[in-house]
Structure 1
Amino acid sequence: MTSSSDSIDVLELTVERIQAGFADGTLSAAALCTAYLARIERINPRYNAIIFLNPAALDDAREIDRRRAAGETLGPLAGVPVVVKDTMDMVGFPTTGGWSLLYSKTGGVDLLPATDSPVVARMRAAGCVILGKTNVPVLSATGSHANDSWAGPTLNAVDPAFMPGGSSAGTATAVAASLAVLGLAEETGGSIQNPASAQALVGIKPTFALVPNAGVMPLAGSTRDVVGPIARCVRDAALTLDLLAGYSPEDAKTVAAVGMRPRGGYAAGLRTDALQGRRLGLYGPGWRDRALSAETIELYRRAQQEMSARGAVLLDDPFAASGFADLGQPAPGSDHFDARGMETLPYDMQKYLERLGPDAAVKSWRDFVAATRAEDPFAPTGVLTYMSSLPDFAACLADPAAPPASTAFFALRERYLEIFADVMARHALDGLVFPQLRDALPPREGTETLHETTVCEINIAGLPGVTVPAGYYASGSPFNLIFVGAQWSETALLAMAYDYESATRHRRAPDLKP
C-alpha cells in the first residue's frame, strides 16, 4: 500500500531507495513530492535555498504515477524530486542571475525564456519532478556564498555560520538539507566543487563540452562554463550525469562529447574495488604553491591511509618541477582566482540573450547594458571588476556580436593539458586526489573567501573533478576530497569516489534548525 506523504521521511533519501519504494508500491511520486514540498515549507524560510517553487510539481508527479500505473517503462530518475540553479532557463520562470535588476518584483526586467535549456529539458524528459529554482549571488560572481542575491543570503545546511559555497549555493543547501534528492549546478570558477565541498556533498565538475550549457546564463560559456550535478551520494550524481551528458544540437561544442560517454552509462561503472592498484597523485606546490592548513594536512593524511587500505598507490607532488604551478595568474585582489577565458562574457551573453526568443524584453548585449546600467558590474566596485584586467576584454566589450579573440586562452589551455598529460604519463597516474579546500570554511559574514586547490586549473584546462565527503574539521566544517583526471575520465573518477565513499561513509545528515 502506498505511503501517505505524512509518513514519508525524506531525510537523506537516495534514488535507489526511492525506486525501491516505487517498485514495491509503498511509495508514489505524488506522495513523495508532497512530502518534499512540506519539508521545503518548514525548512526553506530559514535557509533560503529555493527562490521559486514550481506550481506544476505535484501535477508532474501525478503524471509519473499515471505512466507507471499504465505499465510504461520509466528511467531511474522518473518521479525523483530535484532542483535546478536559477541561471538555467526554465519555461515559466525568470532567469534572474541573483540580480535585482533582472527581476521585475525587485524593480528590474524579467528574462523569460521561450524554451527550456537543454539540461532542464533532459531532466524533464527523464521524468524528474522539478520542485523549483535555487538561489545564486549576483551574476554568479562569487564561489563563496550568495549574500548579495536579491532573494537574500542562502545559509549552509551544515552550520548557518559557515559559508555555503557558491555560486550554486542554493542547489547545495537544498540537497544538503534534503529539500530535494539532487540538483543541477553550474561552474565557471568553482561553483560546483566549492558548494559541494562546503556542505559535505558529491559534486561533478565535468569535462568542458561534455554537458550542453546553452540556455544557461553565462560567465564564460564558450571557454569555461560547465553544468553538473550535486547530490548526497556518488551513485545519484552518476545517474544524473547519465542524463545530462552528450551532444546537443543547441550547443555545437558538445560534438566533442560524441563517443566519449561510457557504454551503459556512468552509474554502471561504479565499483567497490575501483581504488585497487590505482596510482594517484597528491597535492603539493608543484600543482599550486598554496599551503594546506595543519588540520587539513591531518585530515588529508587520514584520507590517504583510507585510500591506501583500499589498495591505492599514492605519489607525493608529481607536478614538482613541471612548470604547472607557474601557469596561474591570480586576478588582482584574489587569493588564487585566475579569470582568463572570461573575457568572452559579452559575446556569450549576446548568444544567451538571442536564445531567449523573439518576445524577450532583453534581446542583446546592448539591451542588457541598458537594462542594468544602474549597477555596472565591471566598475571598480562591481562584482566583475576583475574582468577589466583581462587583455582581450575591452575588444570583446566593444563588439559583443563578433566571435571573441580567444587565441591566448586556448594556447594556455593547450599548455595546461600538455604538462598535465606529461606528468600523468611519466608517473603512470590514473588520477589525482586532493583536499578540495585548503582549510576549514570561513564564516559566512566577512570578507574572507573559500580557499580551494583545483578551481582555476581544471576550469582553464577543461578537466573533470568529482568531490566526495571525507570527514569534518573540529569546528564541524566539512572536509571533502576531489578526484581529478584527464579529459573524459569521469567514469574512472566516479568509480574511485564511489569506492572511497562506500568504505568510509563520512557524510552525516546536518542538524537543521527550522
Structure 2
Amino acid sequence: MRKRSTATLLAALVVGSLCAGAPGPRAEAAESGVGIRPSAASSQGAPGVDLDTVTIPELQARMADGSLTSSALTTAYLRRIETIDPKINAVLRTDPTALRQAAASDARHRDGDIRGPLDGIPVLLKDNVNTRDMATTAGSLALAGGPPGTDAALVTRLRAAGAVILGKTNLSEWANFRAAKPTSGWSGVGGQTNNPYVLDRNPCGSSSGSAAALAASLAQVAIGTETDGSIVCPAGMNGVVGHKPSLGLVSRAGVVPISAEQDTAGPMARNVTDAALTLAVLSGGDTSRPGDAVGLSGLRGKRIGLWRLPSLGPEVDAVMTRTAQRLRDAGAEVVEVTPPYQQRLAELEFPALLSEFHRDIDAYLATRDGPRDLAELIEFNSAHPAERTCFAGQELFEQALAAPPVTDPEYRANRAELRDLSRRSIDETMATHRLDAIASPTNPPAWTTDCARGDNDVIPSSTPAAVAGYPSLSVPAGSVDQLPVGLLLMAGDHEDAALLSLGAAVERRLHAWRPPRYLPSVGPDA
C-alpha cells in the first residue's frame, strides 16, 4: 500500500510542478564570457531550446505543437557530446540506435500516441545498468567483452515510456567499492571524469559521469545508482539535482550490485520536476493522472531541521546559514538538529557491506562472461596492468572475500542494528522536532583530483538515509570558489513524493543553479 500511494503522489507532484512552473531560464544563464554555453545547441538542431534550462514539460509542449522533434533534440545532445565531452570525459559511449529511437518517438507524436512525458527525451545511463545491446562494464575491463544481452528492469521501463537511451556514462570503477583509497570518477574503461565547473576538481561519488554529463547539458536526464552517497554527492558537487529513492521503489534487477540491503538506482536532472517525472517512470508511477497539486504547497509552515556538519568547513557552513535564512524568509521554520547514532552507524556499515558485496557480486558475475566470482575478479585485476593506472589497490575486494558470510550470526546482528539505528536517527529527529524534512550540506567544495592521494570524501550526510533505505534529495544550494554545494533533504520511508515536492519549493526559493564555466583550475595555483 505504501508504494502504491507513493506512485500516486508522484503523479500529483508532477502535475503540481507543471502548474507552479519549474525553475525557468535564469538570468545568470545569460552571462557572457563563461566558456562554452549549452544554448549554442539551438543552432545545432534544436531551434530555440536552451539545453541548460529547458524542462521536460517545456520540451513536450514544443513537440506537441510541432516546433521541436525528438530527432532534433537527440541530434543536439549528440553534437554537444561530441563537442563538450572531451573536456570532461563523462560519456563512455553513445547508443548507435539513438536517432532511430527518436524517429520512432516523432512518429508517435505525429499520431497522437505518445507514451507519457519521457517519450522522446534523451536519457544517459550509468555504466553499471545493464543494456541488452550496449556494453555494461561497471568501469572494469573484466566486463568489457560484450553486452549483457538483457536490459535492467529500469531500462525496460524507460524504453516502454518512449525515452531515448542516449548512451552510457563513466563511473567510479565498481561503484567505488574496490580500493581503500580510490579516485572518484576514474575507471579502467573510461579513465578520469572531470568536474565541469573546475576541470582539475573531482566529480565525487560513483555516479560521477552521470552528474558531470548533466552539468554540461549532454542529456536531459541521467540515471545514477547509490549505496551510500553515490547519487547525491555527485549531484551536489556538479550543481545538479539527484534523488536517491526509498529502497525497493526502483528495481535493482540488472544493476551491478554492492549490497541489496542499500543499493538503489535513481534519477539525476537539472531540475526537480524532471527528476520527479523520471522517478515516476522508474518506479511504475502514473504520470498522466491529475492529483492534488502537492508541488504548489511552497515553504510556508514547513518545518526543516538543519544538520550543519561543521566538519565540512566554514565556507560550507556559511552556505548553510544563508540557505536557512532564505528558507525562513519564505515562511519555513528552520531548527538546528543533530541526528543521533551517527558514530555507531559509521562503525557498523562498512563490515556489513563487505559481506553483502561478496554475496551479491558473485551472483551478478555468474550472469556475465568474464570472471565468474570475486576471487576470479581479484585475479583478473592482478593480471591486467591497465586496471592499475590510477590506483593499484583492491583492498575492499580482498576484505570482502575474507568477510563472514551473510548467514553469520554476528553479521546478521550488525545489519539488524544498522537498520534499527539508521531509521531511528531519522524518525526520532523528525518526530522530536515535528519536521517535514532534515536538511544538511550534501558535499564540500570539490577537491583536486589526485590518483596518488585518492579521494578526500568523508561526507556523513548521506549515511542515515542510505542505510535506512529512506529517500534523500540533493538540490543546488550555492557555491564556494566557483564550486557547487548542494543541500541534502531527507525524509521518512517512502515519503519520496512529499520530499520531491518540498525539494521543488526549496529549489525555486534558493535559485542557486549556475552554469559551469569549464575553468582549468581555481585558487592560488590556478
Calculate the TM-score normalised by the size of structure 1: 0.83
- Answer yes or no: is the 8 Å Cα contact 1:171–1:230 preserved in 2: yes
Matched residue, 2:55: 14
In structure 2, the CA distance between the partners of 1:262 and 1:276, relative to structure 1 (3 Å rule), is farther
Matched residue, 1:244: 282
Determine which of 222, 225, 237 is the counterpart of 2:263.
225
**Residue 159 (structure 1) aligned with residue 159 (structure 2):** no
Mapping of residues 375-454 of structure 1, within 5 Å: 383-386=393-396, 394-396=403-405, 406-437=412-443, 439-445=444-450, 446-454=453-461
Matched residue, 1:39: 80
Which has the bigger relative contact order, CA under 8 A and spacing at least 6? Answer: 2
Mapping of residues 136-147 of structure 1, within 5 Å: 136-141=171-176, 145-147=184-186
Q: Equivalents in 1 of 2:489, 2:290: separation in Å?
A: 15
Matched residue, 1:350: 362
Q: Equivalents in 1 of 2:292, 2:394: separation in Å?
A: 41
Residue 3 (structure 1) shift: 9.5
- Answer yes or no: is the 8 Å Cα contact 1:68–1:74 preserved in 2: no
Q: Secondary structure at the match of 1:179?
A: coil
Mapping of residues 122-201 of structure 1, within 5 Å: 122-141=157-176, 145-201=184-240
Residue 313 (structure 1) shift: 1.1
Residue 424 (structure 1) shift: 1.9
Determine which of 243, 246, 262 is the counterpart of 1:207.
246
In structure 2, the CA distance between the partners of 1:339 and 1:470, relative to structure 1 (3 Å rule), is farther
Which has the higher mean CA deviation after the structures are superposed, 405-414 or 343-352? Answer: 405-414
In structure 2, the CA distance between the partners of 1:277 and 1:490, relative to structure 1 (3 Å rule), is same
Determine which of 457, 476, 480 is the counterpart of 2:464.
457
Q: Equivalents in 1 of 2:514, 2:93: separation in Å?
A: 28
Mapping of residues 282-431 of structure 1, within 5 Å: 282-284=306-308, 291-319=311-339, 322=340, 324-329=341-346, 338=350, 340-356=352-368, 360-361=369-370, 364=373, 368=377, 371-372=380-381, 374=383, 383-386=393-396, 394-396=403-405, 406-431=412-437
Mapping of residues 102-141 of structure 1, within 5 Å: 102-103=143-144, 110=145, 112-141=147-176
- Answer yes or no: is the 8 Å Cα contact 2:74–2:122 preserved in 1: yes
**Residue 472 (structure 1) aligned with residue 479 (structure 2):** yes
Q: Equivalents in 2 of 1:70, 1:395: separation in Å?
A: 58
Q: Secondary structure at the match of 1:17?
A: helix
- Answer yes or no: is the 8 Å Cα contact 1:193–1:467 preserved in 2: yes
In structure 2, the CA distance between the partners of 1:172 and 1:149, relative to structure 1 (3 Å rule), is farther
Aligned amino acid, residue 414 of structure 1: D
How large is the Cα RMSD of the aligned pairs? 3.2
- Answer yes or no: is the 8 Å Cα contact 1:96–1:102 preserved in 2: yes
Count of equivalent residues: 469
In structure 2, the CA distance between the partners of 1:230 and 1:144, relative to structure 1 (3 Å rule), is farther
In structure 2, the CA distance between the partners of 1:403 and 1:141, relative to structure 1 (3 Å rule), is farther
Matched residue, 1:56: 97
- Answer yes or no: is the 8 Å Cα contact 1:235–1:270 preserved in 2: no
In structure 2, the CA distance between the partners of 1:375 and 1:52, relative to structure 1 (3 Å rule), is same
- Answer yes or no: is the 8 Å Cα contact 2:352–2:414 preserved in 1: no
Residue 508 (structure 1) shift: 1.5
Residue 317 (structure 1) shift: 1.8
Residue 451 (structure 1) shift: 4.2
Aligned amino acid, residue 312 of structure 1: A
Determine which of 486, 500, 504 is the counterpart of 2:492.
486
- Answer yes or no: is the 8 Å Cα contact 2:138–2:256 preserved in 1: yes
Q: Secondary structure at the match of 2:205?
A: coil
Which has the higher mean CA deviation after the structures are superposed, 152-161 or 4-13? Answer: 4-13
Q: Equivalents in 1 of 2:364, 2:289: separation in Å?
A: 30
Residue 361 (structure 1) shift: 4.8
Q: Equivalents in 2 of 1:63, 1:450: separation in Å?
A: 43
In structure 2, the CA distance between the partners of 1:266 and 1:97, relative to structure 1 (3 Å rule), is farther
Which has the higher mean CA deviation after the structures are superposed, 233-242 or 489-498? Answer: 489-498
Matched residue, 1:257: none
- Answer yes or no: is the 8 Å Cα contact 1:340–1:460 preserved in 2: no
- Answer yes or no: is the 8 Å Cα contact 2:196–2:215 preserved in 1: yes
Matched residue, 2:6: none
Matched residue, 2:502: 496
In structure 2, the CA distance between the partners of 1:229 and 1:268, relative to structure 1 (3 Å rule), is farther
Matched residue, 1:91: 132
Residue 149 (structure 1) shift: 3.3
Aligned amino acid, residue 251 of structure 2: P
Residue 351 (structure 1) shift: 2.5
Residue 144 (structure 1) shift: 6.1
Aligned amino acid, residue 488 of structure 1: H
Aligned amino acid, residue 149 of structure 1: G
- What are the Cα deviations for residues 314-335 of structure 1, in whole angstroms up to 9, with x where unaligned? 111253xx4x22313359xxxx
Which has the higher mean CA deviation after the structures are superposed, 346-355 or 125-134? Answer: 346-355
Q: Equivalents in 2 of 1:163, 1:206: separation in Å?
A: 24
Q: Secondary structure at the match of 1:447?
A: coil
- What are the Cα deviations for residues 250-306 of structure 1, in whole angstroms up to 9, with x where unaligned? xxxxxxxxxxx799789975524332212111115xxx7x62411112111110011
Residue 509 (structure 1) shift: 1.7
Q: Secondary structure at the match of 2:197?
A: coil
Aligned amino acid, residue 474 of structure 2: T
Aligned amino acid, residue 385 of structure 1: E
- What are the Cα deviations for residues 390-445 of structure 1, in whole angstroms up to 9, with x where unaligned? 7x953339x9xx999544213321122134322322221221011112x3221123
Q: Equivalents in 1 of 2:479, 2:135: separation in Å?
A: 37
Q: Secondary structure at the match of 2:475?
A: strand
Which has the higher mean CA deviation after the structures are superposed, 86-95 or 65-74? Answer: 65-74
Residue 470 (structure 1) shift: 1.0
Calculate the TM-score normalised by the size of structure 2: 0.81
Matched residue, 1:74: 115
In structure 2, the CA distance between the partners of 1:388 and 1:435, relative to structure 1 (3 Å rule), is same
Q: Equivalents in 2 of 1:267, 1:504: separation in Å?
A: 26
Which has the higher mean CA deviation after the structures are superposed, 293-302 or 410-419? Answer: 410-419
Q: Equivalents in 2 of 1:27, 1:239: separation in Å?
A: 20
Determine which of 268, 274, 277 is the counterpart of 2:301.
277
Aligned amino acid, residue 318 of structure 2: E
In structure 2, the CA distance between the partners of 1:154 and 1:318, relative to structure 1 (3 Å rule), is closer
